[in-house]
Structure 1
Amino acid sequence: MRCSLLLLFLSLLSLSGLGSSQLSVDFYNRTCPDVDKLVHSAVSAMANQSNVVTPSTLRLLAHDCFVEGCDASILITSTTNNTAERDATENNIPQQAFDTIIQAKKAVEAACPGVVSCADIVVMAARDAVVLAGGPHWEVTKGRRDGLISQASRVPGRLPGADFNVSELIENFAAVNLTADDMVILSGAHTLGFSHCNQFRSRLYSFDGVNGSSDPSVNASYIGSLKVSCPPGETGPGKFTPFDVSSPFVFDNSYYKNLQIGRGLLFADQVLFTDNTTRPLVNEMADSQDDFFAAFVQAMTKMSNISVKTGSDGEIRQSCSSFNAPPNSTTPT
């Protein structure tokens, strides 16, 4: 079963295409041979300053790729004329993730000016975040270009919701050519990081719209601890709560083990176990961390190839937070 699963992911990877045929591991071998080391060093330095860096940088890649493709559009700063993607309500990504990419870009530009795209740096940084948290390493294919569109108005409906059921999750991932299996594996990224109370409060106090009811799929003691962290009268986002209460800063397969005992933080987490469609893969990932790591590498590689821009499409930004200035102009658009 495990061998067939990995073969399936490898075959899916070969079909992921979408502009990825021009990407290669050695894309910068001549122009910036130390790019992987430079990015890793920058991410490592930032991670040593804050434990928010690894989960937020990993999340940054997913949110980038699901909107406009993996083109660093999420890094653009809003202007008076444009509310950029990063400021969409659905994103709410910690500043540490953006700072990490900024520092990595600075290091790369100092060594290889005008060569490496921000889009490639985001993918490498996400890989390094996984590695620094104890997860697997993989070779990142490179050659992406930076996008020229970043609008908050284009985000709604593109990202998976905290209250999605399995059918909705599958449909959301299918929109970017990812499969149901990809969805389950990539959800394993929730072994790292935190969520706000407003993403799951209804599970505690008004499940299915019934006042005072809690989600019966959630472990009773877990419900109790969540209610302490997120009291009923609280308004606004509320406190941060770890997705994986047992090891929130370690990349492992405990996310799936938690689902088996009713400790999935979001409805969209726990439903992966309660739904017959996805439960078998959850159980398989819970059973073997090695299998999860191998499958995660393949799914991440596939996700990082979503609608990539290559060749003459897009640009190589001088600064990741703004588009390059157009010809004959002294100010960026």
Structure 2
Amino acid sequence: MPSSNTITLFFFLFFFPILSHSRLSLNFYDHSCPRFHQIIEDIVTSKQISSPTTAAATIRLFLHDCLLPNGCDASLLLSSTPFSPSERDNDINLSLPGDAFDLIVRAKTALELACPTTVSCSDILAVAARNLLVMLGGPHFPVFLGRRDGTVSTSSSVTNHLPKPTMPMTQIVDIFTRRGFTVEEFVALTGAHTVGLTHCSEIFQNRSVDNNVNEKYNDGYNPRFAEGLKKACGNYINDPTLSVFNDIMTPSKFDNVYFQNLPKGLGVLKSDHGLYSDNRTRPFVHKFGEDQDLFFKVFARSMQKLSLLGVKTGRRGEIRRRCDQVN
């Protein structure tokens, strides 16, 4: 018969994630920082107006931070040290747009002036991503607050934990299912590609831009669209900043047009076409393309689920004074 200590340990290990989440609340800063939501809303609105790419960039930053083993702890915001490269400097994260990082710095600076050492960078990122999603016409979802910031960030921890457009669909699906998402939720989260830009280098990776278009795009691309991509990205080797919209139809609006594009061969990335060609994911592409309300419902649920991955509360983290370095 197990001892009482063994039973206590089992209870703690089994229920710790639930206990951690229970420390989060929707009104966490009501007393400690009453202007928390207004400050973030003001900063987010100003930044998005001046730099319209901020919304898609921040949503992507949020996804990359939360999917990593550390969970939603803003470890992706930490800069490298002379002794150790951080998650931020891993190859897959080098293309994360600077607008998202700048937004978090601005919000953190304003909140430190109003409520010193009170609001975590991870909470700022979670709320900013949600607010920007809504600004683009996407669904609203409640963000529970009270996260603490992580103190560890290593480039090596990123490997095989974030999806790359060149990965086989089986590997990408596995990244999400290992984190507790269903295939339907994974497809919904991929719908974030309905906004934002993709660097041409990610489209033409390991391929010569001078290759025959039909030969190059033999995996689901519309031939005319492929020709357009080739022209738009023709100088990407000399100009690595060249980018194209993920959704050529409604690039600045969060909607379900991305899913409508895929059956037409209008996906930008190889992984977009993989989403439609894979038997596990294709049914959800059709469902979300036909029913935007369903897409929004599943996307909102999945984003909230994402926002709770590996959250740190209590003594498991800290409130960073600066988001790019530990205290």
Report the CA distance shift for 1:150/1:203 in structure 2 as closer, same or farther (over 3 A).
Answer: closer
Compute the displacement of 1:231 (Å): 2.8
State the distance in 1 between where 2:83 and 2:19 align.
31
Q: Provide the secondary structure at the position in 2 that maps to 1:90.
A: helix
8 Å contact kept, 1:317–1:323 = yes
Q: Structure 2 residue aligned with 1:241, among 239, 244, 254? A: 244
8 Å contact kept, 1:204–1:223 = no
In the other structure, the counterpart of 1:173 is: 176
Q: Output one character per residue of 1:118-173: Cα deviation in whole Å (capped at 9) or x when no partner.
A: 00100001001111212122221111110010112221211101022331111111
State the distance in 2 between where 1:288 and 1:195 align.
25
Where does structure 1 lack aligned partners over 5 or more consecutive residues? 1-15, 325-333
In the other structure, the counterpart of 1:45 is: 46
Q: Output one character per residue of 1:26-59: Cα deviation in whole Å (capped at 9) or x when no partner.
A: 2222212331221111111111111121111111
Q: Provide the secondary structure at the position in 2 that maps to 1:36.
A: helix
Matched, 1:297 2:300: yes
266-275 or 306-315: which moved more? Answer: 266-275
State the number of aligned residues.
Answer: 306
Matched, 1:286 2:289: yes
Q: Provide the secondary structure at the position in 2 that maps to 1:96.
A: helix
In the other structure, the counterpart of 1:88 is: 90
Question: Given residue 165 of structure 1, which amino acid in structure 2 is its aligned partner?
Answer: P
Q: Provide the secondary structure at the position in 2 that maps to 1:195.
A: strand
In the other structure, the counterpart of 1:222 is: 225
Compute the displacement of 1:235 (Å): 6.1
State the distance in 1 between where 2:258 and 2:229 align.
17
State the distance in 1 between where 2:310 and 2:319 align.
16
% identical aligned pairs: 39
Compute the displacement of 1:284 (Å): 1.1
8 Å contact kept, 2:201–2:236 = no
Q: Output one character per residue of 1:210-252: Cα deviation in whole Å (capped at 9) or x when no partner.
A: 9944234111111111111223994674621111011212111
Report the CA distance shift for 1:273/1:110 in structure 2 as closer, same or farther (over 3 A).
Answer: same
Q: Provide the secondary structure at the position in 1 that maps to 2:193.
A: helix
8 Å contact kept, 1:108–1:116 = yes
Matches within 5 A, 1:1-333: 19-67=20-68, 68-91=70-93, 92-201=95-204, 212-231=215-234, 234=237, 237=240, 239-324=242-327
166-175 or 54-63: which moved more? Answer: 166-175
- Pairwise CA RMSD of aligned residues? 2.2
TM-score of the two chains, using structure 2 as the length reference: 0.87
